[in-house]
Amino acid sequence: MDVLREALVMFWLVLVFEFAIEGVRAVDNVALSCPTRQSSVLFGGTSDRANDGNIDGYYSDNSCTFTAALDYPWWAVDLGSERLVRSVIIYNRVDEQPERLRDLRVGMMDTWPTGNNSLLVMDAICATRDGPHPEARLIIPCEKNATGRYLVIQLAAVKVTLTLCEVEVFVQCKYIDVL
């Protein structure tokens, strides 16, 4: 019976843990097609473009968000329930000015963020990244236990636009006792 139990547990673990990101076990992207918001919209760059599954970094392909030039612009996704986030992958714009992605704050909130022109009070900080990040794909492991329902990406800079071409969110898996 113990051999059968172990085989079933291993089978379920393989199903639950589909792949690993930098050594952190994760499930599929939990942000895909979830409700989103951002601090403003410019040039048709709506917030839902950042979690539609399209990692194309060309704005002309209607794949990236775009905010007005604000102080501390932000983007947020509703994960549906409180989650422990382990890592976030951000796909940056590659066709023009990828260095706009700079001075990042990634965190969690228990309510939708609101307002403009101020740093948001996050309930938990996943990570901060100073300076510009012109790379096409930025992997951000959460440095602390970042738990909450709404994942927020904010630029800690003034008079800047936020452009995200895709955001993937990976959460802590729960082991399931199948027997």
Residue 84 lies in a domain: yes
- What is the CATH number for 147? 2.60.120.260
What is the spatial distance between Cα 29 and Cα 155, in angstroms, rounded to a whole number?
22
pLDDT digits (tens, 9 = 90+) for 66-81: 999 999 999 999 999 9
Distance, C-alpha 24 to centroid of its chain: 15
Q: What SS3 state is found at 113?
A: coil
Structural domains in the chain (count): 1
Lowest average pLDDT, out of 68-82, 106-120, 143-157, 162-176, goes to: 162-176
Within-domain flag for 72: yes
Q: Considering the domain boundaries, does residue 2 fall inside one?
A: no
Give the domain extent around 101. Answer: 27-171
The predicted structure's pLDDT at residue 144: 77
Rg of the chain, C-alpha, whole Å: 17
Q: 6 lies in a domain? A: no
Report if residue 177 sits inside a domain.
Answer: no
Residue 18 lies in a domain: no
pTM flag (> 0.75):
yes
Q: Kindly give, in sequence order, each residue whose CB lies less than 8 Å from that of residue 23, ignoring residues fewer than 6 positions away.
A: none
Q: Give me the count of residues in the chain.
A: 179
Residue of 40, 20, 30, 62 whose CA lies nearest to 154: 40
Residue 42 lies in a domain: yes
Whether residue 10 lies inside any domain: the answer is no
The DSSP 8-state label assigned to residue 70 in this structure reads B
Give the tens place of pLDDT for each residue, 73-122: 999 999 999 999 999 999 999 998 889 899 999 999 999 999 888 899 99
